[in-house]
Structure 1
Amino acid sequence: MTRTTKATMATYPTILISCGEASGDLHAAALVTEILKRNPDARIIAFGGDRVAQAGAELVSHIDRYAVMGFSSVLASITKFARLEKKLRSVLRNGVDLFIPVDYPGLNIRLSGYAKKLGVPVLYYISPQVWAWGAGRIREIGRSVDRIAVILPFEEEIYKREGIPVEYVGHPFVEDHYLPEPVTESEREGVGLLPGSRLQEIRRILPVLLGAARYITERRPGTRFVIGRHPTVPLYSYEKVLTRFGMDIPIDNDAVAVMRRSRAILVASGTATLQGALFETPLVIVYRISAINYLLARKLVKIRNIGLVNIIFNDGVCPEFIQSSAVPERIGKKALELIDDNDSRRIMVDRFKSLKHTLSGGGGCRRVAEISEEMLRKRR
């Protein structure tokens, strides 16, 4: 690669995108599509996944090699991440006109600071969850970026208080119409099990969900269950756990359809909680990590709830069962309450109906693409 001249920056820009994990790959792909729609001559290089590549980016490295969960897993892979960072720094030194990191703070905040030192403008799309980690991280990000595009409405004020250029662009699930409309109550059936998007999550969380399914079956014979498989996790990883439990539950490769059609879902904390809520599907949030990761998280995380839906609503609208409280019997009992047509179910669904309005209004990827154009023109 050769460094572009100022005359060609806006017309033939080279943009580096770094997203790091499955949810970021989904949102980054929509952004790549929008940028290339507006400027087919743009060159987009990415650390991303299959979706980003299919949208038209050139992959410098694939996210599947770096799918780790928790502090201890990252430490165990430190050499691999160091090589990745070295590779992306090399890309930044050779002709990049704009850097767009997408979430994934462990790597992307360092890369953003490096890009700034090189004079490469930085547009951070989908802010790291700084409200969970404390004010020090906010200021660190502020020193490393030129602009931030946030997708949760309360995040804008957090950055504005620190004098950091920020714009709320709406959540891509709502603004960019990723998700189909919810189905009617009469079309819903059974309980969906969504154990997460990482191999470690399947190993730790799926057994808990299967235990809850067994509890429900004992009290409500005939209840149907289906597991929503994440595309980045091999099928045999689910089958191995099912075999160990002696259970025969179908695995659906379309996890989104599982969330949409179930009467209730038991779901690992993460992006899927928000997807389920937007489908107006009652849900129970479950999460388990290693003991050392949990102890570290307890020291670092500054928020009461971990489920994204509960964070947005700033209350416990969805029950959370985390670590030692993630007991199959407790989870199963709460799920039984939500399966039935009762006040608990109706109250949760009514709260979910307001989410689209709460998360809309910023323009989504179209607005992020516009901001990227503004930054490229300013650099000319």
Structure 2
Amino acid sequence: MTPPYRLLFSAGEPSGDLHAAGLLRALSERLPGLAARGLGGPKLAEAGAELDLAYGDLALIGITGVLSKLGAIRRALVTLERALEGCDALVCVDFAGFNKLLARRARRRGLPVIYYICPKAWAWWPWRAAGLAKVSSLMLVIFDFEEALWRSLGVRAVFVGNPVLDYLPAPGPPGDAKRIALLPGSRLEEVQRILPVMLGAAELLKKRAPELSFVLPSAAAQIGEMTRARLDGLDTGRIVEPVGGGFHAELSRCGLVLAASGTAALEVACLGLPQVLVYKTSLPTYLFARAVVRRPWVGLPNLVAGEGVVPELLQSRLTAVNLAGAAWDILNDEGKRRRQREAGLRLRERLGGGAAARAAAELAGFLEGRRG
């Protein structure tokens, strides 16, 4: 009798945890008895994985985030390398820097490395993508143009669709133009840098148009707790209402979203909602990113579209005054709102859904092929 497969998953952030869980559920249907373990969060655990580590403090941002957590990173790598013993493969879900280090350790052990939701190598200089290709066995990519890139570097790559659409509801009619959602990010450092600017912009907009309302939806419980705790420490927090319930349903009620760059910005675009995309990180991280990223944008809606469909405010340009001004322009320009909605719906059609099921089929075939 063929022994069941054993996989180690590594998903170090809330979005990765969600997508890893979707893949594990779909894979378990194809591979009875599958055992999974590794790094993840509550979603991956609910899907049946045994967590050797919960991602917690490992959610990193850039150079300064890494430097402040070097000890935790080393300990996590040691723990997960031990957990690789007896596993058939390592499955990396996003979380680029950490997973590349773990992938190297897996390859030294002779284990295949599968990426689901690959690092955005197409935005890097070629040498960074080539380095990742050397440690990868199979790339399950979520943007159609990634397939050719990875294949050109000698990696087996398959476009499986985008997992965002596996759980995103269908776009509804335009939301209430007087209701604005704030999405300051999913990690503590993001929230600390971005939320105060968003609140300052909300205060300026409220003075200009008292009928406006501002809400703070949360995609996960831990994100909601973190942002609410930050609101309690800010005077301007009183003008924003934290809301529970369905994250996407709350977003769809809004006429505009102020969104930190990341998966959430892509979701906003695919819901057909207009947005202003923002980001602020430490200066060393920003300078490093500008040195290695080849594209003029940082937000996924713009990167995937290949054009600036969403306005971006980054680093020193991200001020309360600038953000309030960009938001006001969109609120008072129906043409801009319509063009963003149309661009987002085109993007949604291009991405394609059903990613978890297709990724599971490819991964199951890969594993079965190795056993012969």
Normalization by structure 2: what TM-score? 0.94
Aligned with residue 355 of structure 1, among 318, 343, 347: 347
How do 1:134-213 and structure 2 match up within 5 A? 134-174=125-165, 176=166, 178-185=167-174, 190-213=179-202
User: What amino acid maps onto 2:97 in structure 1?
Assistant: G
Task: Note the C-alpha offset of 1:129.
Answer: 1.1
Task: Note the C-alpha offset of 1:255.
Answer: 3.6
Aligned with residue 40 of structure 1, among 7, 27, 32: 32
Task: Indicate the percent of aligned positions where both proteins have the same amino acid.
Answer: 34
SS of the residue 1:250 aligns to? strand
Give the corresponding residue for 2:243.
252
Give the corresponding residue for 2:336.
344
Give the corresponding residue for 1:8.
2
User: What amino acid maps onto 2:184 in structure 1?
Assistant: P
SS of the residue 1:144 aligns to? coil
Given that residues 17 and 44 in structure 2 are in contact (C-alpha distance below 8 angstroms), is that contact kept between their aligned partners in structure 1?
Answer: yes
Deviations 1:224-250 (A, max 9, x none): 110123533363643444542244221
Separation in structure 2 between the aligned mates of residue 112 and residue 70 of structure 1, nearest angstrom: 19
User: What amino acid maps onto 1:274 in structure 2?
Assistant: L
Larger mean CA deviation between 241-250 and 220-229 belongs to: 241-250
Task: Note the C-alpha offset of 1:137.
Answer: 1.8
User: What amino acid maps onto 2:181 in structure 1?
Assistant: G
User: What amino acid maps onto 1:137 in structure 2?
Assistant: R
Give the corresponding residue for 1:232.
222
How do 1:262-277 and structure 2 match up within 5 A? 262-277=254-269
Give the corresponding residue for 1:74.
66
Task: Note the C-alpha offset of 1:8.
Answer: 2.6
Separation in structure 1 between the aligned mates of residue 259 and residue 135 of structure 2, nearest angstrom: 34
Normalization by structure 1: what TM-score? 0.92
Give the corresponding residue for 1:122.
113
Aligned with residue 104 of structure 1, among 81, 90, 95: 95
How do 1:56-95 and structure 2 match up within 5 A? 56-92=48-84, 94-95=85-86
User: What amino acid maps onto 1:191 in structure 2?
Assistant: I
Give the corresponding residue for 2:287.
295
Task: Note the C-alpha offset of 1:277.
Answer: 0.6
Task: Note the C-alpha offset of 1:28.
Answer: 0.4
User: What amino acid maps onto 1:112 in structure 2?
Assistant: A
Aligned with residue 26 of structure 1, among 14, 18, 21: 18
Separation in structure 1 between the aligned mates of residue 92 and residue 69 of structure 2, nearest angstrom: 21
Distance 1:45 1:247, change over 3 A: closer
User: What amino acid maps onto 1:165 in structure 2?
Assistant: R
Separation in structure 1 between the aligned mates of residue 236 and residue 351 of structure 2, nearest angstrom: 42
Q: Is 1:378 equivalent to 2:369 in the alignment?
A: yes
Larger mean CA deviation between 302-311 and 62-71 belongs to: 62-71
Distance 1:242 1:325, change over 3 A: farther
Runs of 4+ displaced beyond 4 Å: 186-189
Separation in structure 2 between the aligned mates of residue 41 and residue 370 of structure 1, nearest angstrom: 16
Larger mean CA deviation between 307-316 and 247-256 belongs to: 247-256
Separation in structure 2 between the aligned mates of residue 53 and residue 279 of structure 1, nearest angstrom: 28
SS of the residue 1:197 aligns to? coil
Distance 1:368 1:184, change over 3 A: same
- 5+ residue gaps, structure 1, are 1-6
